[in-house]
Structure formats: C-alpha cells, structure tokens
Chain A
Amino acid sequence: MQAVIILLSAGVLIGLAIALVVKFFGVQSDPLLEEVTALTPGANCGACGYAGCAAYAAAMVSGAAKPGLCPSMPEESVKKISALLGVTSEARVRKVAVVCCRGNDDMATRQAFYNGVNNCRDAMQVAAGAKTCTYGCLGLGACARACPYGAIEITPKHLAVVHPDLCVGCGKCVQTCPKKLIKLVPASAPLHVLCSSPEKGVTKRKACKAACIGCQKCVKAAGEGQIRMNGFLAVINYGDLPPAEIASCCPTGALSASIAGTEQSAPESEVINA
C-alpha cells in the first residue's frame, strides 16, 4: 500500500514537472509549416534546389520559394499548399528521365573486360569503361543507386532503364551519370532518340547495333521542325513533338516510341536489321 502511494505521488509530481517544462521551454512550432511539410513527399531528393523537403517547406512558408518546384509532388498537394499559403502556382509539365542509350550486351560490342569496382564512376577512371562506344551506358548502376525513388533498373544485359511511372523527374541521375546520357524530357513525349554518340554513322554501327546511324529517315518523315540532325545524331524537338508512328521508320530502333524500360517486357517489338 505504501509503495503504491509513493509511486503514484512520484508519477504525479514528475508529470507536473514535465507539463511545466513543456509549458515554459517548449519549442513553438508554426502549424502552417507543419502542415506544408506534411504535404511534401519526404524523399529529400533535392530536385527543388533546397537541402531537403523540410528546407523547401520552410522556404515556401517564408515566401522565398513557390509551390510547384517539387517534381514529385502530386498536383492536389501543390494546390493545397498554394491555398494554405495564399499564393498562385503555375501549371507544371511532368518530366521523366530517359537514358539515351540502347546499347545493352546484345547490341553494343565490348573492347575490354572490366573487373574493377562495380560503379560507373569508377569504371570511368579506367579507360572510360569497357564498351567500344565510349558514349554508351556502362550499365554499372551509378544512376540506379542515386535514384531516391527506385525508378532506374539495371537490366540483366547491363543497361540502365527508367520506369516512367516511378520516375518523378528529380534529375539526380542526370547529375550522376558520368557519360551524361540521361535527359529530363516531358512525360508526354511519344518519341525519344536513344543514342548519344556524336560519332560518324559507320563508326557507331560497328560499335552498336542500336545506334542512331544518321540516316535522316526520321527527319524526312517528320519534317525539320520536329526532328533535326545535330551532326550524325537525330534530335527531337520536344517543343513540337513528332507523332509516335515515326518510330517505325528507324532502321536501328534508336528512335524509340518508348523509353527502354517498357521495351524490356516486349523485346520482340525491336526491329534490328543486323
């Protein structure tokens, strides 16, 4: 009985002490900030340009940043935050990353055997990797490790592919890829040039079956405004998008109607004139 009384009174005293401490020393938090922070995705990818989601939320609340900088935030969250802060947000174009290379083990030839550290950036230190095409994907997964959303997969044939449904367009992979192969493009774009080599068509053809060989068939089919040639490489005008059917005119499949991720499930759709 005595013990129960001592423990009860101790509990009440300590509880009172905690209540007092919270009352007088508690950190006053801004409920608005808490609400905005809760609406951010919490992945801390840094694509907004701030150190993390909390920092971006603080910047929004203080008025230094606008809602809508975060690529992975759903549209309704942006609207909610805009309403909370009483600002207007502009319409955003959803962007996804695309790896501009199709040179997997079947397509691209190798000139050396690389036995070093399993990371693209390490492989770059040793003769810029083992592929004959010095511009192609090394397939060692620096981008996949950098992706906070798990949207990049390294296929068993050593090619990085982006899963467009998972990709939010934060651009981390763009910075990481030592070959500068990854581009952010509008998610609605129906066509991509999946080759980055500026070499001559003959050279590229020898190094990779899936290279853009600069035949210009697509330019003729789509017209200069939609696809143009930059040296030996076709470039899509993402401002004036060519129709997806154009892809069928490409003899090597470098001009692709899908980013390689979806092609993995349907390899028979690849038309290769080997």
Chain B
Amino acid sequence: MPDIHPFYGGVHPPQAKISSRDAIVSAPLLERYVVPLQMHIGAPSRLLVQKGNKVLRGQLLAEASAFVSAPIHAPTSGLIKEVTTCLGVLGNQLPAVILESDGEDKPAEPLAAVPNWQDSAPAELLRRVGEAGIVGMGGAAFPTVIKLSPPPQKKVDTLIINGVECEPCLTADHRLMLESPEKILAGMQICARILGVKRILLGIEKNKPDAVALLREKAQGTPVQVCPLEVRYPQGAEKQLIYALTSRKVPTGGLPMDIGCVVQNVASVYAIAEAVLDGTPLYQRVTTVTGTPLRSPGNWRFRVGTPYSEAIRLAGGVSEDPVKIISGGPMMGIAVYSLDIPITKNTSGILLLSAAEVSQYQSKSCIRCGRCNDTCPMQLMPGILSVQIENESFALAENWHVMDCMECGCCSYICPAGRPLVQHMRRAKADVTALHRAAEAAKAAQEAKNSPAPAPGKN
C-alpha cells in the first residue's frame, strides 16, 4: 500500500449516511421515461429515432455527436411518444425523448460480450466503453472514453479508483462496493488494461470498514491495492485523492493525466465491467434517495429518465414537507425546484432537507478570520476572492486563481459570517469563462475584418 499524504484543508461535516445499510433495490418499471439527450459534459447526442418508433431496452437512441459527447440508450422497450425538451438540474431545458414503456422490457440485441477481456486488445475494450455511453458517474459526467485515451505523449502509470464517497448522506457507491465487488474489481482491471498501467489504487474512506475489508479480501491475487483514507471532506475530490495516494499535484489548469494519473469512480468502473463482460450499455445507475423528511430512505437502481417524483414515491414519500430538494449531496449538490427532472447518468443522490436542517441566514461582512484560507483544499483565499467578485473584478479574481476552485463548498461551510463564498466562486467562474469566450469571439471577428484589404482611411 502506498504512503498516504493528507491533503490541505477540508472540513468534517456530519456524515448522515442513514441509508448505508439499505441494500440496492431495482426500481420497478415505469410507464413513462423522460430521457434527456444530454447526460454528459459536451455536445448533446444526435437523435437516431423518431416519434412513433418502437425501441427495445438498451437500443441506441442517440449517438455521440462530437469528440466530447456520449451515446444514449433506451432504458426499457416501448414507443417513442414524443421528441421534446425536459427540465435539467440547472434549470435549463434539455432536448429529450419521452419513452412510453410497453411493459415487456424486451432487451435489444446486447453488444457482444467480451468475457475474456484479458486477451482482448485494449483498443477493442476502449471502443466498447465508448459504445456503451459510459460517463463519469461521480457527478461530472465527463465521457469516460476520453479519460481512458490519453494522448501518447502523456505517460500514465497509475490508475486511481475513487470509492471515497466523502459527500455526506450519499451511500450509493458504498452499497455498490459491498454488493458487486467482483464486477468493480474486473472493471478496474479492464481500465488498467486499456491504459496499460500496472498500478491500480482503490481509495476508500475509513468510515466504510466493511467495504475496505471486503474489497481487500476479493482483491487478493490481483494488482489492485485497497487504500483506506482519512475521513475528511473533500477526500474524494480528484486532485485531493491523487495527492493523498501519490503525493503528486495536478498543475493549475492541468489534468490528472499530466502527472501520470487517471481517476475513475467506482460506479463508472462497475458500468465498464457491465459493458464489457455482459454487453450492457449504461442505462441505469444506483442512486441514493435520502433525507430526514423521507419515510424510508434507501438506494435504488434506477433507469435513466425516471423522474425524481418517482424516486421519492419509492422512498415511501415524505412525512414532513421538505424545504429543499438537492440533486447530489449536501456539499456539492444542486438545489432543484421541480420533481419532473429525470434521473440521469450522473445523479448520485436525491436529498431532501427539512426546515430544521436548512438555515436561511443573512450574509454579513467578512471578519478577516481566515478560516476559509485554512480549509480551502485548493489553497485559495476565498475571503479575498469573494470581495473581488462582489466588486465584479473578475480579471483580478482570475489572477488570484478563482478558476482553480472546484466548488467543494468548504469555505461556505466554515465561514462564521455566513458569506456565500462558494456561490461567489461559481458566479466568477461562469463570468470569467464568458469573458474569455467574448474576447475570443471579438478577436476572431477582428481577424475576419482585417483579413480582406483594410478599408481606406482606417489605421
């Protein structure tokens, strides 16, 4: 096992993992699924079916439309009722298809299974990962196939599997590790074969001793090293996890592959194993539905396109009105206002908070206590940045590395003045990106203007 290097900063929020003993249950078939055509970072997928078409479970509904994109498969068999839009987590309208189930759940011809993956060419395995529409299931939903194909000049020597699940309340990855350790281990080794690396590290927080013990036992005789990690949020953030396990630091604006690492979430490697060993594309995932207002929180295997309302119904409904519904965990999740939003490939949790758990505090002035500086895992200075951002000095904030913020929320969690620090960072990141885009567009327009013969009298 490698030496563990504690990362800088971090906080200790209450764990509240109340559903960690609830085994994964397959959600019953619904009559209607709303399948968004964009469940990943990148371009929306190109639709291949039309209204009125009959599709089978696992059939390709939409194909990748660009380099950064991913195909989407039907969650069940049935009729394409409508090609429309649906509400996304960010409040935006996403292109979507409405699939009316025929109740038979007939599978399409699966992709050819590759049970002897040890002998298959890495390129063949990689193609399969792409075809199965696998994206990063920890939350970012970046297409996995891109992460697994680093350019040849970047030598990757370490594959890190993220089983940390440091986000409070969520237990989906924990349950998946306990219930399908073989598939997860196979998936890791398939990833390692694709990348051609020998060193496979599985990071798990020490608050899951059962998962550590089980995976250690199952990993005997494989190159996988199980590494228990200190319980501290955000231990499962990509850069912090890499540092903890290898003491390497991802450079500013760089990628893990710049320092020879690739990180995959346990749910993603599980999906990879399913795609390669069984030929099943990614159309379902394990999601934690939790929160004190729910009667019976738990972990379910939902098909993509299941509306949040159905997830809450399965969890027994609510015993008191929630005041906040969050897609994801309490630290990094996004508050949503509609239960019509469908579960997508990256919905790791649905969290309901009661009135007692949500505070409606007022933001006050910074008291210069510096606690945000002590907790920021990226070693930024959130207090100073937030003042710059309030004054809309985005160029200055960029110089102070606001773009390195990963929005973990430690600063807002710790701030005694109740300042919306991470909210400011999010806004600044959006506005800095917008400024860069505008500058690029202006430059392109200027070049287009200059390329023909310059107008007389203008210099």
Contact = CB atoms under 8 A, between A and B. Distances in A.
B337 A125 contact: no
Contacts of A115: 360
B447 to A, nearest CB: 18
Contacts of A121: 427, 430-431
B338 interface: yes
Given A127-B90, A127-B91, A129-B91, A111 B423 contact: no
A111 B431 CA distance: 25
Contacts of B426: 122, 125
Interface in A125-163: 125-130, 134
B95 interface: no
Nearest to A125: B426
Contact of A117 (B92, B337, B424): B424
Given A111-B338, A126-B335, A127-B337, A117 B420 contact: yes
A225 interface: no
A243 interface: no
Contacts of B93: 134
B334 interface: yes
Contacts of A124: 430
A27 interface: no
Interface residues of B, number: 19
A178 B335 CA distance: 20
Interface in B252-301: none
A121 B433 CA distance: 13
Interface in A87-140: 111-112, 115-117, 119, 121-122, 124-130, 134
Nearest to A130: B337
Interface in B423-438: 423-424, 426-427, 430-431
B49 interface: no
B423 A128 contact: no
A122 B90 CA distance: 13
A128 B92 contact: yes
Nearest to B358: A115
B420 A116 contact: yes
Nearest to B88: A127
A214 to B, nearest CB: 18
A134 B430 CA distance: 18
A124 B336 CA distance: 13
A124 B91 CA distance: 9
A116 B423 contact: yes
B231 to A, nearest CB: 29
Contacts, number: 44
Contacts of B90: 127-128
Interface in B92-116: 92-93
A152 B456 CA distance: 40
A125 B93 CA distance: 14
A115 B426 CA distance: 16
A122 B337 contact: no
Interface string B13-43: 0000000000000000000000000000000
B336 A125 contact: no
B431 A134 contact: no
A206 B156 CA distance: 55
Contacts of B336: 127
B427 A122 contact: yes
Nearest to B419: A117
A112 B426 CA distance: 20
Interface in B315-372: 334-338, 360, 363
Given A125-B430, A129-B91, A134-B91, A112 B424 contact: no
Contacts of B423: 116-117, 122, 125-126
Given A127-B91, A128-B90, A117 B427 contact: yes
A134 B85 CA distance: 14
B408 to A, nearest CB: 16
Contacts of B360: 115
Contacts of A116: 420, 423
Contacts of A125: 423, 426-427, 430
Nearest to A116: B423
B427 A127 contact: no
A127 B90 CA distance: 4
Contacts of B427: 117, 119, 121-122, 125
- Of the candidates A116, A117, A128, the one having the most CB atoms from chain B within 10 angstroms of its own CB is A117
A111 B90 CA distance: 14
Given A117-B424, A134-B91, A111 B337 contact: yes
A116 B427 CA distance: 12
B334 A127 contact: yes
Contacts of A126: 91, 334-335, 423
- Of the candidates A111, A126, A127, A134, the one having the most CB atoms from chain B within 10 angstroms of its own CB is A127
Contacts of A134: 91, 93
A119 B363 CA distance: 13
Contacts of A127: 89-91, 334-337
A126 B424 CA distance: 12
A207 to B, nearest CB: 13
Contacts of A122: 420, 423-424, 426-427
A87 to B, nearest CB: 12
> Which 4 pairs, one residue from A and one from B, show the smallest C-beta to C-beta distance?
A127-B91, A128-B91, A112-B337, A122-B427
28 contacts: A111-B338, A112-B337, A116-B420, A117-B363, A117-B420, A117-B427, A119-B427, A121-B430, A121-B431, A122-B423, A122-B424, A122-B426, A124-B430, A125-B427, A125-B430, A126-B334, A126-B335, A126-B423, A127-B89, A127-B90, A127-B334, A127-B335, A127-B336, A128-B91, A128-B92, A129-B91, A134-B91, A134-B93
Given A112-B335, A125-B426, A126-B334, 11 more contacts: A111-B338, A112-B337, A116-B420, A119-B427, A126-B423, A127-B89, A127-B91, A127-B337, A128-B90, A134-B91, A134-B93
